[in-house]
Amino acid sequence: MPTSHETRSSWGGPPDLSAWEALMWRAEGDHRTRSTGVVVELLESEPDWERLVLAHKRLTQRIPRLRERVVEPLLPLVAPAWSPDLDFDLDCHLQHVRAPREGSIEEMLALAAAFAGRPLDPNRPPWEAMLISGLADGGAAYLLKLHHSLCDGLGMLQLLDLTHGHGPEPSEIDAAPVPAARRVETPHGLLADRLGARIASAPGELLRSSADLIGRGLTDPIGAAAGVIRFGQSLRRVLNPPDAPRSPALGAGGTSYRLLTHDVPLATLKAAGKACGGSANDAFLAGLLGAFRHYHDHVGTFVERMPIGMPISLRTDRDPMGGNKFAGARFAAPVAEPDPRARIVMIHDVVARARVEPAIGFLDLLAPVMSRLPGMVLTELSSEMTGVCDLQASNLGGIGRAFYIAGARVSRVYPIGPRPGVAAMVTVVSYEGMCCVGVNLDPDAITDVAAFANCLRAGFDEVLALAD
């Protein structure tokens, strides 16, 4: 088992971006395909600023990926790679601001929305952090913004576990050795090295793949043919947009962010799902769909089904920490169903079918080609793929212990996912018995934000009532 030092130094995976990560990185220039997320942590007290700065300095030294930037090859024939930022300046990544006026949660979330909407500097390591002090209850908020090319949701939870203390006192990371310096990449060298290695290895890879294909065809020709047919049928289902139009009540959309948070007791959510033969995730999705049903009632529009997207983790125990291992599922979800019990049953069946699609990871096949397209073409293709849904929802799982940052205890952890062309991105993570729901919505699409906040509470309340 690797030590904590080895785990920290290896977080982030290999030096080259995967084709999927390169695709997300190269499509960053347009708000419709931007893939930057933020974690909002509420702190019970205000941490010492000097201690927080020192902690970031030490952590970025011991997790090298946090001091690395993306280097593009001279020509987009090979993937970008991570390279040490020789001009790394922590002041460009860590900020300290004070909440305005009363220091309410709403004011803090407005600051967080502006922070989330500001693009990252592509010439620096793709992350930023901000401490917001002066909250009304004497606490503070810590915001961590990460580009999706660094990690997916589970990789982000791994990073939080590596970077947060187990108590108010400094942890053993202060004594951990600094990893050796990594290789510095250049656009010219990256192209020459990777392209040369690919050319040299191509004949062997082609022979091996051909031998595998021929071997499967000879030993089980019927099974091989049936597998191809099943995959083709699955690919058709996965590539087709969900069998439901986008809602006319959710407008054309814009570039602004509005953030909402909501707390749901984990045990009650699990009990509600179990009472209907489903899971906590089924109950979570049913609560969201209930919220959109109430909102459509509020604006006087009937929608029977709504297209939504949901990431499905493909991560295994053999995968490195950090990085990205997920696929996207899209389906038409029941919105008009007023009975929360029936919604849970229906969503359970829909999600179960989506998880077992043989072609669920089809983007892994397309990403190597798409990531090499010109930026404008890539952006349009990516936005067309993500722009068919009204909602994206993601359940990141759970955090298994209490977090501390520079001595301050974390009371809530709200994940705020990127919003690629949808009216709302809703993400949840469980922390200390509470499901912390973070909502990133488009105020140009959901125009009555206050009403939607009430609808969100109503949607979850009717699901939680099933636990009784």
Instruction: Please say whether the dihedral angle defined by the alpha carbons of residues 142, 158, 263 and 169, taken in this order, is positive or negative.
Output: negative
**Catalytic hit among 31, 56, 148, 262:** 148
- Going from the C-alpha of 323 to that of each of 35, 46, 98, the distances in angstroms are 14, 31, 33
Long-range contacts, 273-279 (Cβ 8 Å, 24+)? 273/344, 275/341, 275/466, 275/467, 276/341, 276/344, 276/345, 276/348, 276/466, 277/344, 277/345, 277/348, 278/344, 278/345, 278/347, 278/348, 279/348
Q: Is 428 helix (H, G, I), strand (E, B) or coil?
A: strand
- Going from the C-alpha of 164 to that of each of 1, 151, 176, 406, 408, the distances in angstroms are 21, 17, 15, 8, 10
Distance, in Å, from the CA atom of 397 to the CA atom of 334, rounded to the nearest integer, reads: 23
* Number of residues that make up the chain: 468
* 136: Cα within 13 Å, side-chain hemisphere: 8
Burial class (CB within 10 angstroms; exposed 0-12, middle 13-18, buried 19+) of 249: buried
Place of tokens 């010109």: 374
Angle, helices 375-386/363-370, rounded to nearest 10 degrees: 160
The dihedral region occupied by 191, where left means phi > 0, alpha psi between -120 and 50, and beta the remainder, is alpha
Angle, helices 340-355/449-464, rounded to nearest 10 degrees: 90
CA angle 50-53-59, nearest 5°?
A: 140
Residue 427 is inside which H or E element, if any?
Answer: strand 424-431
30: phi then psi, degrees, rounded to nearest 5: -120, 140
Alpha-helix runs per DSSP H in 169-308: 187-219, 221-239, 266-275, 280-299
Burial class (CB within 10 angstroms; exposed 0-12, middle 13-18, buried 19+) of 451: middle
148 is catalytic: yes
Distance, in Å, from the CA atom of 299 to the CA atom of 253, rounded to the nearest integer, reads: 17
Question: Which are the catalytic amino acids?
Answer: 148
